[in-house]
Chains A and B, each alone.
Chain A
Amino acid sequence: MALLEVNNLEVSFGLRSGGVKALRDINFKLDRGERIGVVGESGAGKSVLGFSILNLISNPGSITGGEILFEGKNLSKLSAGELRSVRGNRISMIFQDPMMTLNPVLTVGEQMIECLMAHRKIRKEDARNIALQKLKQVYIPSPETRLDQYPHELSGGMRQRIVIAIGLLMDPDIIIADEPTTALDVTIQAEIMELMLELCERNNVALILITHDLGVVSQVTQRTIVMYAGRIIEQGPTKEIINDAQHPYTQGLMNALPQMAVPGARLNQIRGAMPPLQRIPTGCAFNPRCDYVTETCKHNLPGFTESGSCLVACHMVAEMKREAAQAASLAQEVQS
């Protein structure tokens, strides 16, 4: 059994006014200790996916379909109390902007200790010691002093280390990190990412890493999910996706990377922009921006095609597979 299994997940916003679906047909699995990257342009639904796992979608959003199985238990069906015993304990989250994630009026120590005391019956001094130990794990200098400081007394990088330490407090099975380095100074982004990788490897923690940065994905994760307009359009081993992307959208993302550009030339951005949720085109949502678009693409939603170890939602890829298969069987016939 996979550690986490998401089946046909659907999340909608604003049920009263008709409602728009922010996520549809989300299917993926995460094994113990596995690191998975979630990429896609802004508004693709990456954060919504991250939050929906812990049922943290706030009003007017809600999970309107599918299931999220954590060790076989459906998280979206748990009572408030049961859910609380999963949040921050078995599955923890790291947010994007450490300037906003920590409460400005509580000390670092208070914010760490409360989490430990919520999940374990322990004395305050013991909780403090564990907090101290975790701060050491994330290489915070003079951790003893930090515990009694307020967030505003610390730098951004330091705060994100603390957020990571909070994420690790209960030795969780899964960490969901939503763009954990985007808000940080460029010079410390790599540092923080390395720290996360090290900690996940050492503690055998599974990671769902939401990011814009395909470079980070290739360094840190084993598998990658590519999202577009609320759906997964390609998923598979990171190596395959990075080296040999099948879906035109993924290819577009790869070509847009600065490393891919000819020096001096303009970046190869995908033309157009992702449609808002209310105006997702019929058929393949990517069709208005796609260079390979056909009539089929405009009317029919592409299903998933296996390509290598990847799953790709694209008519063209399906077509090519079919042709390749035909060619192969033809060749076989000819041979025999």
Chain B
Amino acid sequence: MIAFLIKRTLQAMVVMFVISLISFSIQDNLGDPLRELVGVSVSEVEREKLRDDLGLNDPFLVQYGRFAANALHGDLGTSYFFKEPALDVILKKLPATLELVFGATLIIVVLSVPLGVYSAIKPGSLLSRLVMGLSIVGISIPVFLTAIGLIYLFSIELGWMPSYGRGETSSLLGWDSGLFTGDGLHHLILPSFTLASIMLPLFIRLIRAEMMEVLQSEYVKFAWAKGISPWRIYFVHALKNTMLPVITVGGVQIGTMVAYTILTETVFQWPGMGFLFLEAVNRVDTPLIVAYLIVVGAIFVVTNTLVDLIYGLVNPTVKLAGGK
């Protein structure tokens, strides 16, 4: 266990180093921050002086070294637009994004497991074929169309759901969240479904495919030969083996979903990191962009480590302590 954690921490450090290098180096390609920082009235000489002051004229490695040293102290630069530390700006928006990812994950888990399992057990049934058909359709519809469709139906036509914003939030243990108010939850529903709509069909199909394979296995056949109940065979013998690969894939996908929030948040004007990121790109707020990339990278690394940890705990054939 200790060995596992040390190994993963080292891996995480390497990954974070690469991410920081990449995100830092792309800032050169994002346009001139000075244009945003100062108005047109500033002369070229003054601009050049400002560049020197900001260190923008130093060699790349010097700039990166300075950036990395600061980053290690939690300083990812100051947002040009907000005039605040970029990391703080991002982290303030993190809860909203995490709520959205949480809502979508919940929807995916609650729907994909029963639907995937059912369509594996009864592949020929009407419901299974309907689910499979719809999942193909679901995969091919772009997120913004789903969002617009949902807003049109549930907000405009039916008037059941708010069409934008995060609603009322309340604070619990310093976490400012919409999860604890009725209004907040109400606002969360449509964006969560939108975000879930990308991954849900994939998960249903993945679970179904894995489950069907497991149901063909010798040990499931042996379980039938033992005369135990179908319920136990499906949900104890088969499901556990089905979920092992799904957990691995799922963990990666949850990380990916953080990136997908950009679209969902923009359509629903959800005040999260993704929305902020898009604004930052428009304003060429380089420190904010870099900070966003690094935070998202960190979330990736953390979820992947957690997933591996969970996988190791669920799968008895994996020993966390030992290397392969």
For the complex formed, measure the closest distance between the CB of A250 and the CB atoms of chain B, giving whole angstroms: 30
Whether the pair A87, B221 counts as a contact (CB closer than 8 A) is no
B322 at the interface (CB under 8 A from A): no
Whether the pair A114, B218 counts as a contact (CB closer than 8 A) is no
A115 at the interface (CB under 8 A from B): yes
Whether the pair A84, B229 counts as a contact (CB closer than 8 A) is yes
A137: chain B residues at CB < 8 Å are none
Whether the pair B225, A93 counts as a contact (CB closer than 8 A) is yes
A246: chain B residues at CB < 8 Å are none
A233 at the interface (CB under 8 A from B): no
B83 at the interface (CB under 8 A from A): no
A92: chain B residues at CB < 8 Å are 225-226
* CB closest chain-B residue, reference A55: B224
Count of chain B residues with a beta carbon within 8 Å of a chain A beta carbon: 25
User: Contact size class for A?
Assistant: 20 to 34
B228: chain A residues at CB < 8 Å are 84, 88, 114-115, 118
Whether the pair A100, B232 counts as a contact (CB closer than 8 A) is no
A/B pair count, beta carbons within 8 Å: 79
Whether the pair B236, A106 counts as a contact (CB closer than 8 A) is yes
Contacting residue for B241 out of A93, A95, A105, A114, CB 8 A: A105
A336 at the interface (CB under 8 A from B): no
Interface digits, B212-253 against A, CB 8 Å rule (1 contact, 0 not)?
A: 000011111111111111101000110011001000000000
* CB closest chain-B residue, reference A114: B228
Complex CA–CA separation, A163 to B217 (angstroms): 16
Whether the pair B217, A88 counts as a contact (CB closer than 8 A) is no
Interface digits, B101-131 against A, CB 8 Å rule (1 contact, 0 not)?
A: 0000000000000000000000000000000
Whether the pair A54, B237 counts as a contact (CB closer than 8 A) is no
B317 at the interface (CB under 8 A from A): yes
Whether the pair A56, B219 counts as a contact (CB closer than 8 A) is no
A106: chain B residues at CB < 8 Å are 236-237, 240
A199 at the interface (CB under 8 A from B): no
Whether the pair A54, B225 counts as a contact (CB closer than 8 A) is yes
Whether the pair B237, A56 counts as a contact (CB closer than 8 A) is no
B225: chain A residues at CB < 8 Å are 54, 56, 87-88, 92-93, 95
Complex CA–CA separation, A131 to B221 (angstroms): 21
For the complex formed, measure the closest distance between the CB of A15 and the CB atoms of chain B, giving whole angstroms: 14
* CB closest chain-B residue, reference A93: B225
Complex CA–CA separation, A7 to B141 (angstroms): 57
Contacting residue for A104 out of B221, B227, B230, B241, CB 8 A: B241
Interface digits, A117-151 against B, CB 8 Å rule (1 contact, 0 not)?
A: 01100000000000000000000000000000010
Complex CA–CA separation, A95 to B221 (angstroms): 9
For the complex formed, measure the closest distance between the CB of A104 and the CB atoms of chain B, giving whole angstroms: 6
Complex CA–CA separation, A115 to B167 (angstroms): 53
Given contact pairs A86-B227, A163-B222, A166-B226, enumerate 11 new A-B contacts (beta carbons under 8 Å).
A56-B221, A87-B224, A92-B225, A101-B218, A101-B222, A102-B219, A106-B236, A107-B316, A114-B228, A118-B227, A150-B316
**29 interchain pairs (CB within 8 A)?**
A58-B221, A80-B230, A83-B227, A84-B227, A87-B226, A88-B226, A89-B227, A93-B222, A95-B221, A95-B222, A100-B218, A102-B219, A102-B222, A103-B219, A103-B241, A104-B241, A104-B317, A105-B240, A105-B314, A106-B236, A106-B237, A106-B240, A114-B236, A115-B227, A118-B226, A119-B227, A150-B316, A150-B317, A163-B222
3 closest Cβ pairs, A-B complex: A87-B227, A88-B227, A88-B226
